[in-house]
Amino acid sequence: MAKFRLSAFADEYSPALDEQISGLLSFGIDKIELRGVDGKNVSELTRAEAEAAAKKLSAAGITLSAVGSPLGKIDIGGDIDAHVELTKRVAETANILGCRRVRGFSFYKTEGKRGEVIDALGRMIEVCSAAGVLYCHENEKNIYGDTAERCLDLKAAFGEKLGVVFDHANFIQCGVEPYPHAFGLLGDKLTYLHIKDADADGTVVPAGEGVGKIRETLEEVNRRYDGEVILTLEPHLHVFSGLDALEHGEKTKLRGTYATNAEAFAAAVGALRSILEGIK
């Protein structure tokens, strides 16, 4: 039986770290996937800024489930050497923050360039591995690993040096059935899950309101896994500071149902907890 632990991208609650912390505590969440800190992406933090963030989070009793980096979110034909250097910086930041997981991606414009993807990603993974950090690959629109089959290909190529992050909404937006298809291929290889659901047209909605079958997925996770399973809320239910910087090409479709980030965040938390209450 799984022990589900909630984490969150709290920069969707507020860009300010102090407010992220108070927001998480108000919802009884003691983990964070740190992505935005006082208006800066986590990959841009100086050592002093990372140390200050670590001190604030520790004082509040909040630990990191992962560092939500943008690694691998460049074209495969871009400056890979510079990106490897950025990987070194992110891995160092992860260590300052006391975190052993870095979320990353597998490049844009990769058609016919699998070998280049493997070479570039391999260099980044080795940097992380040498620093004692696990590179955790998230399925994302328009990157190499946007389908379950290519996520599986990456996992086969890198084995235990690569973690697997499962995002239902991202699969839906790529025309991939999250459950049972994608989960059938990746279900025994998961490192953690992002909780984000979507309608058939890709519009992001609270967990359980879309076609992702998040409830069915978590019921099967509960049957398969013994021990802690991280569920990281990534609401994407309201426009938040930094959203544009995360997008590449087509913009994420938002319903616009919620008036504020706090209201959207509360809806995301409530929807997931409602699902979890029904899982025995």
The predicted pLDDT at position 151 comes to 98
The predicted pLDDT at position 236 comes to 85
What is the percentage of the chain residues whose pLDDT exceeds 70? Answer: 94
Angstrom distance (rounded) from CA 142 to CA 147: 9
Does residue 40 surpass a pLDDT of 90? yes
- The contacts of residue 223 (CB under 8 Å, 6+ apart) are none
Query: What is the arithmetic mean of pLDDT over 86-114?
Result: 98
- The answer to whether the CB of 168 falls within 8 A of the CB of 217 is yes
- The answer to whether the CB of 102 falls within 8 A of the CB of 133 is yes
Q: Any alpha helices (H) in 194-237, and if so which ranges?
A: 214-224
- The answer to whether the CB of 242 falls within 8 A of the CB of 11 is yes
Q: What is the pTM for the complete model shown? A: 0.94
The predicted pLDDT at position 257 comes to 79
The predicted pLDDT at position 252 comes to 66
Question: Among candidates 58, 67, 62, which has minimal Cα distance to 30?
Answer: 62
Angstrom distance (rounded) from CA 87 to CA 123: 9
Angstrom distance (rounded) from CA 249 to CA 197: 20
* 3-state class (DSSP) for residue 67: strand
Condensed to tens digits (0 to 9), the pLDDT of residues 232-278 reads 999 988 765 555 555 565 666 666 678 899 999 999 999 999 999 99
Class of domain 2-277 (CATH, top level): alpha beta
The predicted pLDDT at position 204 comes to 93
Condensed to tens digits (0 to 9), the pLDDT of residues 119-167 reads 999 999 999 999 999 999 999 999 999 999 999 999 999 999 999 999 9
Cβ-in-10-Å burial (0-12, 13-18, 19+) of 272 comes to buried
Supply the mean pLDDT for the chain: 95
- The answer to whether the CB of 117 falls within 8 A of the CB of 144 is yes
Host H or E run for residue 165: strand 162-167
- The answer to whether the CB of 11 falls within 8 A of the CB of 234 is no
What is the percentage of the chain residues whose pLDDT exceeds 90? Answer: 91
- The contacts of residue 45 (CB under 8 Å, 6+ apart) are 37, 53, 93
The predicted pLDDT at position 146 comes to 98
Query: What is the arithmetic mean of pLDDT over 95-121?
Result: 98
Mutual orientation of helices 261-277 and 214-224 as an angle, nearest 10°? Answer: 50
Host H or E run for residue 152: helix 148-158
Query: What is the arithmetic mean of pLDDT over 188-203?
Result: 96
Host H or E run for residue 205: strand 204-205
Q: State residue 75 phi and psi, 5-degree precision.
A: -65, 145
The predicted pLDDT at position 259 comes to 87
Domain extents for the chain?
A: 2-277
Does residue 67 surpass a pLDDT of 90? yes
Query: What is the arithmetic mean of pLDDT over 187-216?
Result: 96
Confidence bin at 28 (pLDDT 50/70/90)? very high
**Looking at the DSSP assignment, which residues form a beta bridge with residue 185?**
none
Q: State residue 233 phi and psi, 5-degree precision.
A: -70, 125
